[in-house]
């Protein structure tokens, strides 16, 4: 089949016609990807080979498309359904920049009518990463989507609140009953507020001023911090140092799962958010957790309570457009970059 491949570590993306068409297991869906979004992990994997089990490797883990075949044990989906989400990375059948890829029934989203396939392509990695960080890492109770909790006086600090993962972290925190203070740049304040942030702090201002503002706003009610950028451990330690004497257990979750934070001020508990093993048989704990989380997020998406990220759609249709999208994302796009891979 046709698609994008990389043949070796640090190899070039190239469009090819010699990829092997995947065959769905009993609990899997064969999906025709229509739109795909770029994530930082695509370039990380190409440049390092991390998480890749077989070469050549096909990129793109944020996919929205149409079900063309279902496994013998699938009950939730049928041929023709439109689906989206991240199904894992680095193993055969996981790459979305191809004519076909595989979805697992228990970690797939069904696209509702009110969002487009392009919008849906922005929602997988962001929602799933934020969900792991909040509901697994920050000791936040999984909400009942039919009876959402009232907003408490407890705060969540979302670092990188203007990005894709950060935007979903803001939304899911609010829907879980927390006030949110988002660390963003000046140009992303509007997006963070639209997602539900109660307060914002400009991460480009002096650190001491940011920490003082956070302490003043939260008034002893900040116990949960999520870093969606991977680069804020030192900043978090400064914040925790300022609030260490406030009563209550403290939690810090970060997408940086490769560095040890050591002992944190206030004995805060650290949770590394690791989406990489998703979809692999050995990642039973993550797969089971996300299956539960996705069931909740699906209801919230259907009810328009979780909204898609803003995105840039590159010109053209075809697998070459994904390669172009990677270039645009690498150039510093403030929005998610999406490519149309095929006609529906």
CATH code, domain with 242: 3.40.50.720
Give CA–CA dist 294/132, Å, rounded: 10
Whether residue 180 is found in the same domain as residue 65: no
For 170-197, what is the mean pLDDT?
Answer: 96
Look up the CATH number of the domain holding residue 88.
Answer: 3.90.180.10
3-state secondary structure of 104: strand
Residue % of the chain over a pLDDT of 70: 100
- pLDDT for the residue numbered 307: 96
Whether residue 239 is found in the same domain as residue 324: no
Which pTM does this prediction carry? 0.96
Cβ atoms of residues 39 and 326 within 8 Å: no
Confidence of residue 330 (pLDDT cuts 50, 70, 90): very high
The encoded tokens of residue 116 equal 């487009």
Let me know if residue 141 belongs to a domain.
yes
User: Is the dihedral angle over the CA atoms 50, 54, 59, 63 positive or is it negative?
Assistant: negative
Per-residue model confidence as pLDDT tens digits over 108-159? 999 999 999 999 999 999 999 999 999 999 999 999 999 999 999 999 999 9
User: Does pLDDT of 165 surpass 90?
Assistant: yes
Q: How many helices (H) and strands (E) does the chain have?
A: 9, 15
Residue 311, phi-psi category: left (phi > 0), alpha (psi -120 to 50), beta (remainder): beta
User: Does pLDDT of 77 surpass 90?
Assistant: yes
CA geometry: angle 36, 329, 336, nearest 5 deg: 55
According to DSSP, the residues that pair with 226 across neighbouring strands are: 158, 253
Confidence of residue 166 (pLDDT cuts 50, 70, 90): very high
User: Is the dihedral angle over the CA atoms 206, 211, 212, 217 positive or is it negative?
Assistant: positive
Confidence of residue 336 (pLDDT cuts 50, 70, 90): very high
Let me know if residue 283 belongs to a domain.
no
Whether residue 78 is found in the same domain as residue 96: yes
- pLDDT for the residue numbered 28: 97
Q: Which of 216, 209, 127, 222 is nearest to 178 (CA)?
A: 222
Q: How many structural domains does the chain have?
A: 2
Whether residue 80 is found in the same domain as residue 103: yes
For 53-78, what is the mean pLDDT?
Answer: 97
Whether residue 92 is found in the same domain as residue 11: yes
The whole-chain average pLDDT of the chain stands at 96
3-state secondary structure of 158: strand
Let me know if residue 260 belongs to a domain.
yes
Let me know if residue 287 belongs to a domain.
no
User: Does pLDDT of 15 surpass 90?
Assistant: yes
Let me know if residue 288 belongs to a domain.
no
User: Does pLDDT of 334 surpass 90?
Assistant: no
User: Does pLDDT of 332 surpass 90?
Assistant: no
- pLDDT for the residue numbered 256: 93
Whether residue 56 is found in the same domain as residue 135: no
Give CA–CA dist 44/257, Å, rounded: 14
Let me know if residue 42 belongs to a domain.
yes
- pLDDT for the residue numbered 192: 94
Whether residue 41 is found in the same domain as residue 80: yes
Cβ-based neighbours of 121, under 8 Å, separated by 6 or more? 35, 36, 37, 62, 63, 64, 84, 311, 338
Whether residue 118 is found in the same domain as residue 208: no
For 177-204, what is the mean pLDDT?
Answer: 96
Q: Which domain holds residue 45?
A: 3-123+308-340
- pLDDT for the residue numbered 341: 98
User: Does pLDDT of 288 surpass 90?
Assistant: yes
Before 331, cis peptide (omega within 30)?
Answer: no
Whether residue 116 is found in the same domain as residue 148: no
- For the beta sheet containing 251-254, the strands, ordered from the edge strand earlier in sequence to the opposite edge, are 199-202, 179-184, 155-159, 222-227, 251-254, 269-272
Whether residue 61 is found in the same domain as residue 173: no
End-of-domain residue from the set 252, 272, 292: 272
SS3 content of the chain, % helix, strand, coil (to 5): 30, 25, 45
For 87-103, what is the mean pLDDT?
Answer: 96
Let me know if residue 83 belongs to a domain.
yes
Whether residue 264 is found in the same domain as residue 145: yes
Whether residue 223 is found in the same domain as residue 93: no
Rounded to 5 degrees, φ, ψ at 324 are -65, -40
User: Does pLDDT of 7 surpass 90?
Assistant: yes
Let me know if residue 173 belongs to a domain.
yes
The encoded tokens of residue 50 equal 């991390």
- pLDDT for the residue numbered 186: 92
- pLDDT for the residue numbered 333: 84
């Amino acid at each position: 089949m046709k698609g994008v491949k990389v043949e070796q570590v640090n190899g070039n993306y190239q469009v090819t016609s010699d990829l092997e068409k995947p065959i769905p297991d009993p609990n899997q869906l064969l999906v025709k990807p229509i739109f795909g979004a770029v994530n930082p992990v695509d370039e990380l994997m190409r440049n390092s080979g991390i998480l890749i089990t077989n070469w050549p490797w096909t990129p793109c883990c944020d996919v929205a498309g149409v079900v063309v075949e279902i496994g013998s044990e699938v009950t939730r989906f049928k041929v023709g359904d439109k689906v989206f989400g991240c199904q894992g990375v680095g193993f055969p059948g996981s790459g979305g920049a191809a004519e076909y890829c595989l979805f697992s029934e228990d970690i797939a989203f069904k696209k509702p009518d009110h969002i487009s396939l392009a919008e849906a392509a922005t929602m997988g990695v962001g929602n799933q990463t934020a969900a792991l960080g909040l509901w697994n890492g920050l000791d936040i109770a999984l909400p009942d989507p039919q009876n959402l909790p009232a907003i408490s006086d407890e705060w969540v600090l979302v670092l990188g609140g203007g990005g894709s993962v950060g935007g979903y972290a803001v939304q899911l925190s609010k829907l879980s009953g927390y006030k949110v203070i988002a660390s963003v740049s000046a140009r992303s304040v509007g997006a963070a507020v639209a997602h539900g942030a109660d307060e914002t702090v400009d991460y480009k201002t002096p650190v001491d001023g940011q920490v003082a503002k956070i302490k003043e706003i939260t008034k002893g009610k900040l116990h949960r911090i999520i870093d969606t950028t991977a680069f804020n451990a030192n900043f978090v330690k400064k914040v925790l140092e300022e609030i260490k004497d406030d009563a209550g257990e403290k939690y810090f979750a970060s997408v940086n799962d490769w560095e040890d934070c050591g002992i944190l001020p206030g004995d805060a508990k650290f949770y590394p958010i690791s989406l990489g093993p998703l979809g692999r048989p050995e990642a039973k704990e993550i797969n089971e957790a996300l299956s539960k989380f996705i069931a909740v997020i699906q209801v919230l998406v259907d009810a328009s309570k979780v909204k898609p990220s803003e995105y840039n759609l590159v010109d053209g249709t075809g697998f070459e457009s994904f390669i172009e999208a990677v270039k645009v994302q690498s150039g510093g796009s403030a929005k998610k970059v999406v490519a149309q891979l095929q006609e529906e």
